[in-house]
Structure formats: structure tokens, C-alpha cells
Amino acid sequence: MRTIYYRAQRNIRLNGRKLNRILIRLRNILFVIVVVFILFIYKVNQSHETAVMAYISKSAHKFISCEREETSKPYNTNVLELLINKYNSAENIINLDVYGDINRQTIILVILVDKYSTSLKYFLASLSQIKGIEEAFLIFSHSYFDEDVNNLIRKVDFCRVLQIYYPHSLQLHSHKFPGYDPSDCPPDIDMQTAESLNCTGAWSPDIHGHYRNPQFAAKKHHWWWTANKVFENLKCTVNHNGLVVFLEHDFYFMEDLLYMTIYMKNIADTVSHCEFISLGTNSLKNLNFINTYRVEVMTWNHKEHSSVLGFDIKVWNSIVSHYDLFCLIDDYSWARSLYFISLSRRDGKRFKVLHSLTPRAFKIDATAFTNTLNNIEVIENVYQVILLEKQHLDDWFPTHIEVYYKIELEKDEYMIFEYSENNGGWNDPRDKAMCTNMTIRKIKKVLMDMKNEFMDYISEKDP
């Protein structure tokens, strides 16, 4: 029996060693496969990057070749706050001496910028190649102060540029509201736990039972502050009544973006209650490049039409007159909050949009886990967009535009806002109050205008 036992033990050890050797071999083979795959991807990416650089004009290479300065140090919060206030007050417009003053109809592109990224470099490179860009005015709204980003933007020499800085950023308020205050309730605890902790916001979880996440809330605050700043609080736009286009810093553009923007704006002005124009897409899949001259009038949808969104001061006045709907709805998405306004306007009419069936702006941002993979993915996305552009070179700058009305338009008029689809994240009273306070100057102006109109009416009645 003892002999059989020892033999069994020896066989187990031998089998274990064999299994270990097999596993080691499999691991080595897998490692080799991964290395070969990475080298292949890197080689393909290098080839695509070379093709991209060859396609982009040499004058735009300075944006792509611009690298971060590793020696840059973080700012002291107090110093940073002074800098931001200084820059916002100065309203220093770059290249104004070259391209002249902004007029009432100048197309304004408002770009929401966060941190330094590869996509921002290609964004600027593609902007420089848009036909007529020298007539536009770029406003970069920063949610993060970064000298590397500033240095990159200061390389822009193809049009007028203004940089504004969001003064309520998480960078400035990392340990207090609107950042994360140590006394705040953690986002994912339940209400019972929050009450026992007696943390800030314990009695106001969102629609899904979660508590405030500063990173989510910051995006809506930033967009709302930017819109208020551009339409209400800049000296250079005080008399502007042209189109303002909002977009983020991770898009690549077709050369006829401004051509189509102006063309579509002129058409939208002739269409009853058509407030928005939309020219972008968040996906490179299922795109229509057959009829680049077709646009469609439809009910505005935040999922499809918010990535590159243009409207003027009249539409802004309609939006801001419903500031309570925007600021009080429990949703951290600015686009879905606009959608709530659309479905709840006092006149009962939904926002309409003139939408380009073939996009002129393509999202190129990456979602990889490392900077290296992010860079590879961005370059690959740019390469795919350039391939699409080259395949349809004769289809851009259409000499005429066909306008279609979506047949579901009337049905869409009776859509209901589904609260269950809300993102939530916006039920903290502090967020709602801060959002409302951003619009207080406009509210006071509207009330004063109403008072003056009433006094004029009284004086006419009783001379």
C-alpha cells in the first residue's frame, strides 16, 4: 500500500511539472503573439500617421509636432485664480490686428477644452484647413488651466482667437464645492447610510438614488457658464447676432464646414421655427456620403444633434428664458437638459434643427486606457476620416442644397420627457443654485426691460 501511495505521489508531481511546463509554454507563446500584434499595430499606425501628415498641409504640422513641456509645474490655487480672473477680464483677442474686428454676423466657434490631448492637436490642424476660417472667430473655453494647452492654442495664426477660463473648475475647487468637499456624501452610498453619516446632501439623492459626482456636474456647469459668458458677458460679442456654434475639442473637420454652416443658416432663417443647425457626428459608422447636398428639418434630439450645435442670440434668449427648466431638471447632461426645455417650452413648440445628412465634423477622441494607445486610436480615427474625405473629394462644397422634412415631424411634437431615462447626478441644491446664479445678470436685465416697457406704456396712457 505504501509503495502504491508513493508511486501515486510521484505521478502527481510529474504530472504537475508537465502541466507547469505546458502552462509556461502557453504563456510564452501568448506573450510572443501579443508582442507581434503590438508591433504590427505600431507599424500600421506609423504608416497611417505618415499618410495623415502627408495629407495635412505643412502649415498645420506645427500643431501636431507640438509636445508638452515636462518641466511645467502645477500652479498654486490662489495664483491660478488671480490668473484666470486677469485673463477673463482682459479679453485679449489674438490676431485681431491681422483679421480685423468682429462684426455682427461673424461666425463664432465656441470650443470646450479640458486637458492637453492628441485629439486637440489634430483638431487645430483640421481647423486651419477649413475654407474661409480666416473670417471666423474662435473662443476656447477652458475647464482646466494648462500652459501646454495655452502654448498650443497660441500657435493659431489663421483667424481671431479668444481664450476664456471657467472660474468654478474642479482644478480651482478640488476640496470644496463645486469640487468634492470632504463632508459631501460619497456618490454610491444609499440614503440610509448617508443619513447615518450626516453628510452634505444626505436628503437629496438623485433620481437613481446616487449622490453628487463633481466630475459629472462640472460638464453641465461649464457649458452653461460658457453660453452665458459668450452671449451675455463678453464685450466683443455685445452686438453680435450671428451664428454661434458649440463644439468640443476632439473633432476633425471637412474643408467645407463653414461653407455649409453659412448655407444652412441662410436656409434655417427661411424655415418656420427652425432654431438649431447641426453638422457633426459622434460615430464613424453608417455614414451617408452619397448625398452631401441634402439636409433635413426635424425635431431636435439631444442624442443626434448636440455634438456640433449652432444657434443665435434669438434662440439663446428662448433657452435662457427657461433657465429654471435647465437648472432644476435632475440631469447632469447639458444636452438632455436642453431637450427637457424643448419638450417643456411655454409656447408648446419643440426645438427644430436643420441637420446635415453628411456630417462635416467627426469625433476622433479615444477611449483607451493608456496615453500610447490613446494616441494610436486618435491617429487611426483621423486616418479613417481623411480616407472618407479623399474618396468623396468631388462631393464637398455643393452648389445647391436639397431640404427634406422628416415625415415623423408632427408625431414628434407630442413626445413625452421620460424622467426614468435621466442621467441624474443633479439633485444637489447647490448645483441648482449655482446654475441659476450664472444667469442672474440676464434675469435682471429682462426684468429691467420689462419694467421700462411697462413704464413707457403707463406714460403713454397717462401723459
Residue 412 marked as a ligand binder: no
Asked whether the beta carbons of 77 and 145 are under 8 A apart, the reply is no
What secondary structure, in 3-state letters, does the chain show? Answer: CHHHHHHHHHHHHHHHHHHHHHHHHHHHHHHHHHHHHHHHHHHHHHHHHHHHHHHCCHHHHHHHCCCCCCCCCCCCHHHHHHHHHHHHHHCCCECHHHHCCCCCCCCEEEEEECCCCHHHHHHHHHHCCCCCHHHCEEEEEECCCCHHHHHHHCCCCCCEEEEEECCCCCCCCCCCCCCCCCCECCCCCCHHHHHHHCCECCCCCCCCCCCCCHHHHHHHHHHHHHHHHHHHCCHHHCCCCCCEEEEECCEEECCCHHHHHHHHHHHHCCCCCCCEEECEECCCCCCCCCCCCEEEEEECCHHHHCCCEEECHHHHHHHHCCHHHHHHCCECCHHHHHHHHHCCCCCCCCCEEEEECCCCEEECCCCCCCHHHHHHHHHHHHHHHHHHHHHCHHHCCCCCCEEEECCCHHHHCCCCCCHHHCCECCCCHHHHHHHHHHCHHHHHHHHHHHHHHHHHHHHHHCC
Residue 463: C-alpha distances to residues 43, 311, 455, 458, 459 (Å): 84, 41, 12, 8, 6
HSE at residue 290, side-chain half, CA atoms within 13 A, is: 2
Asked whether the beta carbons of 223 and 334 are under 8 A apart, the reply is yes
b/e 148-181 (16+ beta carbons within 10 angstroms → b):
bbeebbebbebbbbbbbbbebbbbbbeeebbbbb
Detail the residues annotated as belonging to a binding site: 250
| Annotated binding-site ranges for Mn(2+) | 250
